[in-house]
Structure 1
Amino acid sequence: MRILNICAYTWAIGGPARIIYDHTLEVLKQGHQVDILSPMTEGEKMYPVPEGAKLIACTRTTPISSVYREFSVPMYRYLKAHIQDYDVIHMHGIWHFGSLAPFLIPNKAIKVITIHGLLDKWALAHHQWKKDLVTFLYQKSILAKADLIQINNTDEEQDVIRYLGERPKNLKIIPNGMKLEEYQNLPQKGAFRKRHGLGADQKVLLFMGRLNVKKGLDLLLPAFLKIHQQVPEATLILAGPDDGYEKTTREFISQHQLEGKVKLVGMLTDTLKKEALADADLFLLPSYSEGFSIAVLEAMTSGVPALVSDRVGFGDYIARHQAAYLCKLEPDDIAKGMLKILQDSDYAQNLAKRAQKMVEDNFDIRVIANQLLAEYKKVNKM
């Protein structure tokens, strides 16, 4: 099969790019062709491309793309010229031009849309007027026209049913996966601590994600304020690019004299990310909304005990396996969970062990990639 993924394939976008990367590695092994069509802005750092795959980078068209996400005339021109070359067009996310464009050009390709959590209540309420407009214009109709809608869990299934008013026949639950071996052999401990002036006796509380209110930073910062005097050796590391909340974060740090206790270290990639995970005592993501958090999977695979909300994309698995402290979306409970993990080493170790087993049993990319390929083939025969 000739497969085209459409996604903003950049480091800043986070999980979807990593999902495409890992899936592509497995698909290429089976002899399929994979291209990645990515709208981008000059200066953005593109995610690595697996050997054997092809990246087609298309410049976003401003100023329209600042209002209508991923709008790109070059992307449309590419599709118009080459759409007949593909058997499968897999669109990642909704509400943006990349998920509409393939429906504007006549073609016979199988069209797949992965929702990535963008229909949950929090996501729908964010910039609601835009989403109401897109819903009125086309969003429900293209979901009906898609050959396959991929969702990750039963929560997301309910989101789709609530949005469309019924369970569509083209809906399929296929969780995302990851290449587990990359995080099962981490760098030697100490490199991250040394780089950021942290002693061996300090507790590293690691948040990895875009600095966006969606990630629960408005809850995490007050929670850390509640516990930092009880655990004076704790340091909160915020690792991620600014996505609208860095200014507020820095103001909070200054207002509460948390300089030195909360460190913004920017986006961590490759070895730097693995060094941070190797040195972390606790991973934190009290998110309001995630499609399927690869960052949480990475932390769990790395053996780091985690505190997360049930909105990270696989909260049902986490609850069933008791694989993390599932926090309520309130600072008091996040603070309570932090203290539990930091002060009860047996509890923390058991969380980490159960999480590793959960990931190994359910989210190995080799299994997930074959599930998705099987769905492509099934649709192709219908």
Structure 2
Amino acid sequence: MKILHITPYYEPDFHRGGVVRSTSILCRELVGLGHEVTVYTTRDALSPSKDPPGASCDLGGVRVVFFENRLGGFGFGLDMIRAARNIREFDVVHIAAFWQIFGLPAFLSARRASVPCVVSPRGSLVMVRKRTVGAAKYRLFYWILNRYVLKRASAVHFTAELERSDARALGLAVPSFCIPNAVPVEEFRFLPDRVAARKRLGITDERPLILFVGRLDRRKALDVLLKAFARVGGRGRNSVLVLAGPDFGEKGMLEDLSRALNIGGRVIFLGLVNAEERAEVLAAADLVTLTSLAENFGNSGAEAMAAGIPVLVSDQCGVAEGIEEAEVGRVVPVDEDTMVSVLDEMLADGGALRDMGMRGPEFAKSSYGADKIARKTTCAYGDLIAGTRSPDCRWADG
């Protein structure tokens, strides 16, 4: 199968968030299954390419074509319009973007050429449902353009039922399939030495270490996490909170808040971590948190389970599906009091916490294993071409 993926950012621009990483993993796995995969993307200003627009390279067997970055991925140039004219050479097109209109020429060309086109909102629909002043621009853009795209896509891909419920709340009765993000579970099978990893963070005893991995932005509700962390008692009274991720406008506020709460000495800001550094902080951690206000999936939670680390996630994260049933972590609302209570409970019993972690790898492999997810995605693409509906893809028509 010849597959075209379109995303405003692709590897190595991993600082752009989980969409970049999950798309890269999926594309590489699809190549491993024998498919011919091409990615149309742009290069981030923080890692500019010396190659001219339109140049291509091979990344893990995936042919990656870099186009002009117009308006931070929110626009497209003549090079993208020209490339879209050749859309018939692909069997299926998958657009992993929503607010950015970078893929619009390819979407329109695919419709004209009757090439199946999948769109992945990746958590964007929650912004449409918000009734805040800041969300007004997203609602406007949705009604002007994005609703048109979603309603005319061959199918919409959701990573969790939570995300599909957002679409239903907006009255989007569109064909959709639900497949979670792919996680390379084998990458997390063997972590670095725990003692050495903790020493590098300045921790020489066995006090609990709570870890967050992700962008420091408002949607992550890290202010609520800090307030809850400050109130944790018992065994967690001297625990350490590590925030590992790039700053998206929240770091200054979080640093000020941690000092105001008198926990500045127990909160560590690591900044963006690469794959090797991520493995190290996971090795040092006792618990991984992802208590976001909205998260279509939550790669860091899935990766933590693959690494054998128990998780605390909010009920607004797609990755929350099945966690409590599998006893690999806890699911909470984004509520300070509830988070304090559950953190106290989880940290009080180190043995139970470790047992949760030990169940994680098998759950992650069966739920998010990259090979399994790539096969399901291939099946969904095949369904679109053949007009079938495979049960494993969790299809729905509204």
TM value normalised by structure 1: 0.90
Q: 1:78 to 1:306 in 2, by over 3 A?
A: farther
2:269 paired residue among 264, 269, 280? 264
* Aligned with 1:246 (options 239, 251, 254): 251
Identity, % of aligned positions: 25
Aligned pair partner of 1:301 in 303, 306, 327: 306
Q: Give the equivalent residue in structure 2 for 1:52.
A: 61
Deviation at 1:166, TM superposition (A): 4.9
- 1:61 paired with 2:70, answer yes
1:20 maps to amino acid? T
User: CA offsets, 1:274-306, max 9 Å, x none?
Assistant: 011011011111111111111101101111111
Match of 1:5 in 2: 5
**Alignment pair present for 1:341 and 2:346:** yes
**2:290 aligned with 1:285, yes or no?**
yes
1:292-345, Cα deviation, whole Å (9 max, x unpaired): 111101101111111110222132312332321212211121122222222112
Cα distance change on mapping 1:316 and 1:166 into 2, 3 Å? same
Q: For structure 2, which runs of at least 5 residues remain unmatched after alignment?
A: 50-56, 388-398
Q: 1:183 aligns with which of 160, 171, 188?
A: 188
> In the TM superposition, what is the alpha-carbon distance from 1:242 to its structure 2 partner?
0.7
State whether residues 290 and 298 of structure 2, in contact with CA within 8 Å, keep that contact through their aligned partners in structure 1: no
2:322 is paired with a residue of what secondary structure?
helix
Quick one: distance in 2 between partners of 1:239 and 1:380? 42
Unaligned runs of 5+ in 1: none
How many residues are matched?
374
Q: Partner of 1:96 in structure 2?
A: 100
User: Which of 344-353 and 207-216 deviates more?
Assistant: 344-353
Q: Is the 8 A contact 1:93 1:114 kept in 2?
A: yes
2:344 partner amino acid: L
| Aligned-partner Cα distance in 2 for 1:268–1:45 | 19
Partner of 1:118 in structure 2? 124
Amino acid at match of 2:125: L
Q: Which residue of 2 aligns with 1:43?
A: 46
Instruction: Indicate how the Cα distance of structure 1 residues 78 and 125 shifts in structure 2: closer, same or farther if over 3 A, else same.
Output: farther
Distance 1:329 1:237 in 2: 19
C-alpha distance in structure 1 between counterparts of 2:99 and 2:324, whole Å: 30
The equivalent of 1:161 in structure 2 is 168
Paired letter, 1:88: V
Q: Is the alpha carbon distance of 1:59 and 1:335 closer, same or farther for their aligned partners in structure 2, counting shifts above 3 Å? A: farther
* SS, match of residue 359 in structure 1: helix
> How far apart are the structure 1 equivalents of 2:240 and 2:367?
32
Q: What is the rounded CA distance, in whole Å, between the counterparts of 2:365 and 2:108 in structure 1? A: 40
* C-alpha displacement of 1:182: 0.8
Instruction: Quote the residue 2:33 is aligned against.
Output: 30
User: Contact between 1:150 and 1:173, CA under 8 Å: does it hold in 2?
Assistant: yes
Q: What are the Cα deviations for residues 30-74 of structure 1, in whole angstroms up to 9, with x where unaligned?
A: 22111222233322389x974211222334224xx4xxx532326
Q: Per-residue deviation at 1:198?
A: 1.6
Runs of 4+ in 1 over 4 A off after TM superposition: 121-126
TM score, norm. by length of structure 2: 0.86
SS of equivalent to 2:19? helix
Asked if 1:73 corresponds to 2:92, the answer is no
Query: How far has the Cα of 1:125 moved from its partner?
Result: 4.6
What residue in structure 1 maps to residue 23 of structure 2?
20
User: Following the alignment from structure 1 to structure 2, what is the Cα–Cα distance between the partners of residues 167 and 72?
Assistant: 29
Residue in 2 that maps onto 1:378: 383
Q: Residue 238 of structure 1 aligns to a residue in which SS?
A: strand
TM-aligned CA deviation for residue 238 of structure 1: 0.5
Partner amino acid for 1:52? G
Give the Cα separation in 2 of the matches to 1:296 and 1:73. Answer: 37
Q: For residues 204-230 of structure 1, what are the alpha-carbon distances to aligned partners after superposition, in whole Å with 9 as ceiling and x for unaligned?
A: 111101001111212101111112786
What letter matches 1:242 in structure 2?
A: D
Q: Distance in 1 between matches of 2:228 and 2:115?
A: 49
1:337 alignment partner AA: V
